[in-house]
Chain A
Amino acid sequence: MWLAPLGFLALFYFYPLSSILQVSFARGESGWMGALLDTLASSSTYGVLGFTFWQAVLSTLLTLAVGLPGAYLFARYRFPGKSLLQALTTIPFVMPTLVVAAAFNTLLGPRGWINLGLMQIFSLEVPPVVLTNSLAGILLAHVFYNTTIVLRMVGDFWSHIDPRLVQAAQVLGGNRWRTFWQVTVPLLLPVVLAASLLVFIFDFSSFGVILLLGGPRFATLEVEIYTQTVSLFNLPTAASLAVIQLACTLGLTVMYTRLSNRVSRPLSLRPKTYTQERLASRRSRLFAGGMLVLLMTLFILPLVSLAFRSITHLESTRLDTQPIQRGLTLDFYRELSVNRRQSMFYAPPTSAIGLSLGYASATVLLSLLLGLPAAWSLARSAQNPFNRLMDPLLMLPLGTSAVTLGLGFIIALDQPPLDLRNSWALIPLAHTLVAFPFVVRSLAPALRSIRPQLHQAAATLGASPGVVFRTIDLPLVGRSLLVAAVFAFTISLGEFGATAMIARPEYPTVPVAIYRFISQPGAMNYGQALALSTLLMLITSLGILLIERLRVAEVGEF
């Protein structure tokens, strides 16, 4: 059972990573490990590394500041529209970075609603709000992305803590303050730390957001690896940076797995109906109202602004001299299917959509074929020492940055023994690596829930093995199989980091096409980027809402 998933990981994860190590450790002008030593000696490396840490720390703190009150709201109160809001707050998590960047651009960018509005009102020549190419933009996008993690992990755990622990502390004479610090905080601390670490890992290896919203001034390790590879073609330096990146993320991932094990501390967990109350007092209503406005502004406003902007004419397109026609338009969408440049290397965006859908389907197929046996083996015998080793091993790709994976593919898979340089399979393979941990995590709990007693019970009631499979296994696993498939599909559709490294110019995926449009000047290019982003956003949102409806909830499972 392990053969296929392990073979896949060996070939497309460990082999490319070892190639990166090889390149950075290889003999250079200054001897063995020259590239790595040079990179480590360079002060610019420390600048990049320092900034990577700094922005990740800031982003994590901001995410906690928004996420913890939100987690409290979801954990302790019942209110109408709550499940819808919970589903909506999940949307950002799998939203492609390019879409998020474009969305914030339409809201706060130089041509965004707020700047255009302010310029109109005060007759300004220059956009007053500078969010692109600024740290603020990066932080905002990271908060947008990762608040979901805090809401989910902490909120879920919090909602299952017995409220009588707090009551017991109060009856014993603890005032509000002491009860909070001595009972609530220690109970929540492990899960808060685990969530923070996960947020930190994602912020640390963030790529698309920084590339698009950070501009040339800000470079994290990821962006630097990309620049060194794609613009400067300096593979040894890129590989050395990737080694540093790997060391950091692997260390953080190990810490995360340790911490999340501590979260499963034996607690008297309670059903939610028992722990939650209605918004009865004026204070709780005020708090909930404020939180709702904040979350809606953060999560929904940028996306709505993106969709609306993609069908609005605000500026002159191309070189037209006529006065600008303001109003609603579908021009940007129509333009997507036109090949204006008649260039061989230019593919019309519609073909990018077709290509992305094809890659996504291939990714679904591949990741399910590999993930199912892996999840099945994990679920069958969790106590088996080999399986206990495999569990974190399978999660490794989650902690490895996409750009590093892409770099590994470039270095390892373009020469014999495995030359896939010209193969279309390269992209679905990379996407499968990224999606694989999510697929396994979605499938394993469902498979584990099929206890042998269920089979025995069905058999004693007269069901043949075929009937048992059809009436017991399939319904229990079917939902999570669908969840895993949708996960793989949306991840593949939105994947940018690895794709940006390995996609060939004439075959761009949708995110790559969006990036190209955004990098080029002109309102028509901008509009098309927004139109593509909107399409991607709609598909992804549908996928996530589907996952939300179908998935079997587990405490703290991510």
Chain B
Amino acid sequence: MLQIIDIHKSFGGTTALLGVSFNVQQGEIVALLGPSGCGKSTLLGIIAGLFPPDKGEVLWEGNALAGVPVHQRGFGLMFQDYALFPHMNVARNIAFGLHTLDQSPAEIEHRVTETLELVGLPGFEKRDVNTLSGGEQQRVALARSLAPHPRLLMLDEPLGSLDRSLRERLVVDLKRILHQMRQTAIYVTHDQEEAFVIADRVVVMKAGKVEQIGMPQEIYCNPASPFVARFLDMSNFIAGEIILDNGQPVLSTTLGRFATSHPARGAVSVLIRPDAARLDGSGMVKLEGKLLEHSFRGSSQRIRVQFADQVLSFDFPTATDLPAVGTTLPISLDTDQGILIFPA
């Protein structure tokens, strides 16, 4: 459906995009995930046609979109702060995109009602958009971009300005609505949880480049680079070296030596996942460390543990009994799932 091929863009002296390519299939929801300033919103602007790329192409069903003006692309874009027209009521906001489709007033009215029901705001037609709450505005903005049946819907941090609990509820609603309409969509966010919940595939971006593309689970289990891992809140990196011991590759670190099947040789960077630690001694590598810090995080708890010259963080379910801060505790590491190796 949508093909994005080697897009470059710079503003003034600052480079926003450095050769971005990926595809979006019919009915698929793709999340663009990355820290602020990585070029996500710029890319949306280019796909929507708000500004042209310096280099590269956007294709829709194989046809280049360069030269097609914004209003003829048939794409929807939901803006970060919604950009609702303040001088129009809810119904007129939603109807704005329907007027160009040569529909009769009755059809337009019907579509407005239908879309408002879809987003869970039945009867809101006559309301003044300036008096709506943040969550309601978000739904009206969604209704407005869905109403004309866009071939592709782009959502630019649509939940960014809402508080956490509302965000968690709305992202599920959003996913249900988009799936119900079999809507092809690109969802921009800097929140990994949001991206994982809503997306069929995730494109992780870093400083104007694509860092990794994959299904949420794939990305979580196999981050392609230390950057992706760090962005997903995995920060236990230690230095290591893969050497051959009797012809078998062995990873040697300050924490100990483990067998590995990784093809790299020489110096490497080793990630120990926060969920790799076991307290029951079932892991392959057995260690002892001093518990430095303990923080409760709701559904999980996190501890920081001092090993010889390393401090690592580990997550445990809330129900797990943990000793007091300052005590030494035995920890074993699940090296099958819990250790990732990146070439240094």
Contact = CB atoms under 8 A, between A and B. Distances in A.
B77 A171 contact: yes
A186 B87 contact: yes
A265 interface: yes
Most buried by B among A174, A179, A187: A174
Given A167-B50, A266-B130, A173 B83 contact: no
Contacts of B88: 186
B86 A265 contact: yes
Interface in B88-102: 88, 96-97, 99-101
A172 B97 CA distance: 5
A278 B12 CA distance: 10
Contacts of B305: none
B275 interface: no
A136 interface: no
Interface string B18-49: 00000000000000000000000000000010
B40 to A, nearest CB: 16
B107 to A, nearest CB: 15
B145 A172 contact: yes
B152 to A, nearest CB: 11
Contacts of A173: 71-72, 74, 97, 100-101, 148
Contacts of B72: 173
Contacts of A183: 85
Contacts of B83: 162, 164-165, 167-168, 268
Contacts of B187: none
Contacts of B100: 172-175, 178
A35 to B, nearest CB: 48
Q: Is the interface of A mostly helix, strand, loop or mixed?
A: helix
Interface in A149-190: 162, 164-165, 167-175, 178-179, 182-183, 186-187
A293 interface: no
Contact of A267 (B70, B75, B86, B101): B86
Given A167-B50, A171-B71, A173-B97, A187 B86 contact: yes
Contacts of A170: 50, 69-71
A459 to B, nearest CB: 33
A167 B79 contact: yes
Contacts of B76: 171-172
A171 B86 contact: no
In this complex, the interface size class of chain B, counting residues with CB under 8 Å from chain A, is 20 to 34
Interface residues of A, number: 23
A175 B85 CA distance: 16
B173 interface: no
A268 B86 contact: yes
Interface in B127-152: 130, 144-145, 148
A167 B46 CA distance: 12
B169 to A, nearest CB: 24
Nearest to B156: A164
Contacts of B96: 169, 172, 174, 182
B87 A265 contact: yes
Contacts of B145: 171-172
A296 to B, nearest CB: 28
Interface string A276-310: 00100000000000000000000000000000000
B81 interface: yes
A434 B130 CA distance: 38
Given A169-B96, A186-B87, A175 B79 contact: no
A183 B86 CA distance: 9
B81 A171 contact: no
A165 B144 CA distance: 13
Contact of A168 (B79, B87, B130): B79
Contacts of A165: 83, 85-86
Interface string B55-79: 0000000000000011111111101
Given A168-B77, A169-B96, A175 B71 contact: yes
Contacts of A167: 48, 50, 70, 77, 79, 83
Nearest to A186: B87
Contacts of B99: 178
Contacts of A168: 77, 79, 83, 85, 144
B86 A266 contact: yes
Most buried by B among A162, A164, A172, A179: A172
Most buried by A among B77, B96, B144: B96
Interface of A: 162, 164-165, 167-175, 178-179, 182-183, 186-187, 265-268, 278
27 contacts: A162-B81, A165-B83, A165-B85, A165-B86, A167-B70, A168-B79, A169-B85, A170-B70, A171-B75, A171-B76, A171-B77, A172-B76, A172-B100, A172-B145, A172-B148, A173-B101, A174-B96, A175-B71, A179-B71, A183-B85, A186-B87, A187-B85, A187-B87, A265-B87, A265-B130, A266-B86, A267-B86
| A-B CB proximity, top 7 nearest | A172-B97, A173-B100, A170-B70, A164-B83, A168-B83, A171-B77, A266-B130
